[in-house]
Structure 1
Amino acid sequence: MAAGKRPTLAMVADAAGVSLPTASKVLNGRGDVSAETRARVEKVLREFGYVPQMGRRVVAPARVVDLVFDDLVSPYSLELLRGVTEAGAEAGVDVVVSRLPDAEHRGPLTPENTWAQRLKSSGREGLIVVTSELSLAQVEGFARAGLALVVIDPLNLPRVEVTSVGATNWLGGVAATEHLLGLGHRRIGFAGGPVQASCSQARLGGYRAALDSASVRPDPELVLHGAFHYRDGLEMGSRLLALPDPPTAVFAASDATALGVMEAIRRQGLRVPEDLSVVGFDDTVMASVATPALTTVRQPLEDMGRVALRTLLRLIAGETLDSHHVELATNLVVRGSTAHVRGG
């Protein structure tokens, strides 16, 4: 440091290898900094002889994290948003919400290094990414930029160290299928999510396990995949009903998909649940206001958002997590869209 030049907090942060908000937190005695980071910053403060300007209160810059969605208009996203922002308010952290520019095409997030550096230069400490596809290059770009990362319901996990928050999707798939089996259904369709989505694959695994446990041979024609959207549910429902031997019930991998399936049933002049039963997954507000109200597997979306934000803050503070993957419990909510198989 040049002689006579007054040290600034930005210079201290740069010498300590931390962000300006982190250096400010140490200076202000905030507790959400790891012991190792705190010791390093305090050492540089002493070496630089840093003294805050007299008469000025040192105020820590606002802590900011990004919350990135592939779809901002779905009830699923809104419930997660509520959980993340409520936890952020409790922790004194601002949450900036954005949408992926290529979400409509379900492509990987881009660009890698430019995006990471832009977030870092704008003072972001980390980001939460929801139901999106991440490349290994992007994950490594976040790590190089010193950005903590948590994903919710990821379509993929480029490496096992990526921290994720989800629900017990396999058990939810088992519960949904066992409910339909218990009502006498044996031809049960599966209107799933994207093939590459780990949550959809887990729900499919639960569906298959429940059929196997009941000694029901799965029919590959009854298993379809699409996006977690109403229009995809409508298309899959139409295909299932067009089969020579259509199902008597459908387990859809999301509420939005289930509502699309229900519309396909109506367009065929059939009724839910008299002619076909339908089960969804999520228990968003759409499930309770549908006609008939949708039987669905509830995943605690608001709690998932809260856990994701709190986990991100732990990573930012340099804490060691007990597990990189957290799953919250699901449970079946029975409403009016399911009934005993006709003639059963």
Structure 2
Amino acid sequence: MATIRDVAKESGVSVATVSYVLNNGPRPVRAETRERVVSTMRRLNYHPNAVARSLVRQRTHVMGILVGDAQSEIVTNYYYAGILAGVFAGARLRGYNITFFTAAATDQGIEHHIRAQRPDAMLVIAPQLGQDLPKRLKSVGIPLGVVGADECYVDSAAVCLDVDNVAGMQLGMQHLRERGHQPGSIAFALGDPNQESTRIRRTVYEQTLRDWGAEPQEQDIIAHSFHSDIVYAAVRERLELPHPPTAIFAGNDGIALAAIQAIRDRGRRIPDDVAVIGYDNWPIAAHITPGLTTIQQPMHDIGEAVVCALADRLEENLEDKVLSTKSMVKRFMPSLIVRGST
């Protein structure tokens, strides 16, 4: 394999000059000299060592990804898949590679794993609440992006992007009300209570009921999980109690599908007896019978935007020679997709 010294010797220039050509600086190189060096690199089939270049530049052009729950099905779960599709698009657009960290966000010493891998920036997707992760990641000293939470991360100078969960819940609740469902007859199958999005959605659900003159009932807040078997059992149990709900608002479309199965197995019709509304707009939502009404969030846009925001921050850091201490919070508007389940 040709080395940088081989290129310098064949081009009749110094090793430093070849380095200036490769790195576009820090000193200028005359056009004819640059062309001679580039031509020699092609002829010798020279490829610069990416690791060595990263050590010189102190940049790896790699962004790391950490998921809040290492056990999550990040490949088959449509939320993760949608966010990651946008992340890959943004990384390709801005010239970055992506590396996954298999350690859980709750693992002690995760910051040491990150330092060892030397990513230029870190992205956390759907972190769990009640962790000291923001403080630990801030100590690494690289730009931090977060999707699905910001309450704990704004003090970490993080880039926090998410769907507007307040607007999404309001869209769904108002839709159910317009379909004639009374405030005391709408149940909420919320999902994982340890995620910030779940906490926000529950708060909006309860406040909306109070605004409509009904006090939220604990029995109507069901299925504290994303796992379909737990959801199925919880919905069956709620339907067997006195005064069953006429509508169920699910924390994601997976929960909604499990709820639909439980409703049918209980001998109820959808939407005549119980209406169901989901969240995320999974592809299957349009193909079941009846089609699933759902809140669509622009996951691809969110994933792409957070990578581009981190790339912008890295470029700012190069110019200012200091890590930004400013947080950025951005919300993306959801939309209501009405189908037969309501």
User: TM-score scaled to structure 2, two decimals?
Assistant: 0.74
Question: How far apart, CA to CA, are the structure 2 residues paired with 1:322 and 1:141?
Answer: 17
SS of the residue corresponding to residue 138 of structure 2 reads helix
Q: For residue 170 of structure 1, report the CA deviation from its aligned partner.
A: 1.0
1:100-249 counterparts in 2 under 5 A? 100-101=103-104, 109-112=106-109, 115-133=110-128, 137-154=132-149, 157=152, 160-161=155-156, 162-186=158-182, 187-249=185-247
Question: How far apart, CA to CA, are the structure 2 residues paired with 1:167 and 1:293?
Answer: 23
Question: How far apart, CA to CA, are the structure 2 residues paired with 1:237 and 1:155?
Answer: 31
Question: How far apart, CA to CA, are the structure 1 residues paired with 2:244 and 2:276?
Answer: 13
Contact kept? 1:166, 1:304, Cα under 8 Å: yes
Which runs of no fewer than 5 residues in structure 2 stay unpaired?
Answer: 1-18, 28-36, 42-46, 55-59, 318-322
Question: How far apart, CA to CA, are the structure 2 residues paired with 1:204 and 1:134?
Answer: 15
Q: Give the percent of matched residue pairs that are identical in Structure 1 and Structure 2.
A: 25
SS of the residue corresponding to residue 296 of structure 1 reads strand
CA RMSD, aligned part only? Answer: 3.1
Contact kept? 1:233, 1:259, Cα under 8 Å: no
Contact kept? 2:128, 2:196, Cα under 8 Å: no
Question: How far apart, CA to CA, are the structure 2 residues paired with 1:235 and 1:121?
Answer: 44
SS of the residue corresponding to residue 269 of structure 1 reads coil
Q: Between Structure 1 and Structure 2, whose CA radius of gyration is higher?
A: 2
Which runs of no fewer than 5 residues in structure 1 stay unpaired?
Answer: 1-23, 31-41, 46-53, 102-107, 339-344
Question: How far apart, CA to CA, are the structure 2 residues paired with 1:26 and 1:328?
Answer: 42
Q: Which residue is equivalent to 1:336?
A: 340
Question: How far apart, CA to CA, are the structure 1 residues paired with 2:325 and 2:116?
Answer: 27
Residue by residue, what CA displacement relative to the aligned partner does 1:60-81 show, whole Å, maximum 9, x if unpaired?
5551111223321211111111
Q: Which residue is equivalent to 2:329?
A: 325
Residue by residue, what CA displacement relative to the aligned partner does 1:33-52 show, whole Å, maximum 9, x if unpaired?
xxxxxxxxx6xx9xxxxxxx
Question: Residue type matched to 2:174 in 1?
Answer: E
Question: How far apart, CA to CA, are the structure 2 residues paired with 1:203 and 1:325?
Answer: 18
Contact kept? 2:123, 2:144, Cα under 8 Å: yes
Contact kept? 1:174, 1:209, Cα under 8 Å: no
Q: CA separation of 1:82/1:311 partners in 2, compared to 1, >3 Å: closer, same or farther?
A: same
Q: For residue 137 of structure 1, report the CA deviation from its aligned partner.
A: 4.3
Question: How far apart, CA to CA, are the structure 1 residues paired with 2:254 and 2:281?
Answer: 10
Question: How far apart, CA to CA, are the structure 2 residues paired with 1:264 and 1:99?
Answer: 34
1:29-68 counterparts in 2 under 5 A? 29=24, 61=54, 63-68=61-66
User: TM-score scaled to structure 1, two decimals?
Assistant: 0.74
SS of the residue corresponding to residue 205 of structure 2 reads helix
Q: For residue 284 of structure 1, report the CA deviation from its aligned partner.
A: 2.0
Q: For residue 182 of structure 1, report the CA deviation from its aligned partner.
A: 0.8
Question: How far apart, CA to CA, are the structure 2 residues paired with 1:234 and 1:155?
Answer: 31
Question: How far apart, CA to CA, are the structure 1 residues paired with 2:198 and 2:261?
Answer: 22
Q: Which residue is equivalent to 1:34?
A: none
Q: Which residue is equivalent to 1:269?
A: 267
Contact kept? 1:127, 1:148, Cα under 8 Å: yes
SS of the residue corresponding to residue 120 of structure 2 reads strand
Q: For residue 140 of structure 1, report the CA deviation from its aligned partner.
A: 3.1
